[in-house]
């Protein structure tokens, strides 16, 4: 019995180590810095791109309720639950390369680098407050993955501490 408990404890320790090791480093683009100032012109350009390229799946409200959302392998995330908890570089990388297994396509061959950063600026300007967040603090960011103090509420975060479960994808 004691040997079984030790084996179980050791297995749990290894599993936790794998989650922490891969979960913390898996977000590609985490260290990319947004080179485009979040100006009114950049946000307006991003809004137009969002309306023409993203809203069919995401919905204009960012709630994942676009007309094509039901045709995707997994429903799109609600941006108010997701955007505040990821760095600009992560969002840019997802727009650039797509997200495997979700129906989110890669836009690197369709949109220029500046257009993709303008989309990031629009997402920040429009969806940077979590559901129930303080709407008087626009653009504050704030999830643990972006350096703030609010716990990560996104479905792929473990225990509210901002460790994404996307390590299961094993795309480092």
Predicted confidence band of residue 5 (pLDDT cuts 50, 70, 90): low
Q: How high is the pLDDT of residue 128? A: 87
Task: Tell me the three-class secondary structure of the chain, residue by residue.
Answer: CHHHHHHHHHHHHHHHHHHHHHHHHCCCCCCCCCCCCCCHHHHHHHHHHHHHHHHHHHCCCCCCCCCCHHHCCCCCCCHHHHHHHCCHHHHHHHHHHCECCCCECCCCCCCCHHHHHHHHHHHHHHHCCCCCCCCCCCCCCCEHHHCCCECCCCCCEECCCCEEHHHHHCCC
CA 82 vs CA 2, 103, 123: distances in Å: 43, 16, 10
Name the residue among 29, 33, 39 with its Cα closest to residue 98: 29
89 touches 29 (CB < 8 A): yes
Q: What percent of the chain has pLDDT over 70?
A: 59
Sequence ranges of the domains in the chain: 2-169
- Kindly indicate whether the domain formed by 2-169 is annotated with CATH number 2.40.30.10: no
- How far is the C-alpha of 172 from the C-alpha of 78, rounded, in Å? 24
The CB density around residue 70, as the number of other CB atoms within 10 Å, is 9
Tell me the per-residue pLDDT of 74-122, one tens digit each, with 9 for 90 and over. 889 888 888 988 899 999 999 999 988 888 999 999 999 999 999 999 9
Two tokens at 139? 């653009």
83 touches 91 (CB < 8 A): yes
- How far is the C-alpha of 81 from the C-alpha of 89, rounded, in Å? 18
- How far is the C-alpha of 63 from the C-alpha of 85, rounded, in Å? 16
Q: Work out the average pLDDT over 39-59.
A: 94
């Amino acid at each position: 019995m004691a040997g079984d408990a030790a084996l179980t404890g050791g297995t749990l320790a290894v599993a936790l180590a794998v989650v922490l090791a891969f979960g913390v480093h898996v977000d590609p683009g985490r260290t990319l810095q947004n080179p485009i100032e979040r100006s009114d012109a950049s946000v307006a350009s991003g809004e137009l791109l969002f309306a023409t390229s993203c809203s069919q799946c995401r919905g204009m409200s960012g709630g994942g309720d676009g007309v094509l959302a039901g045709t995707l392998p997994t429903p799109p995330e609600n941006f108010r639950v997701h955007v505040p908890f990821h760095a600009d570089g992560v969002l840019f990388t997802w727009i650039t390369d797509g997200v495997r297994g979700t129906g989110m396509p890669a836009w690197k061959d369709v949109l220029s680098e500046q257009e993709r950063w303008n989309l990031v600026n629009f997402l920040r300007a429009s969806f940077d407050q979590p559901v129930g967040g303080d709407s008087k603090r626009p653009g504050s960011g704030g999830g643990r993955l972006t350096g703030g103090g609010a716990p990560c509420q996104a479905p792929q975060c473990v225990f509210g501490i901002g460790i994404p479960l996307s390590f299961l994808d094993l795309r480092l």
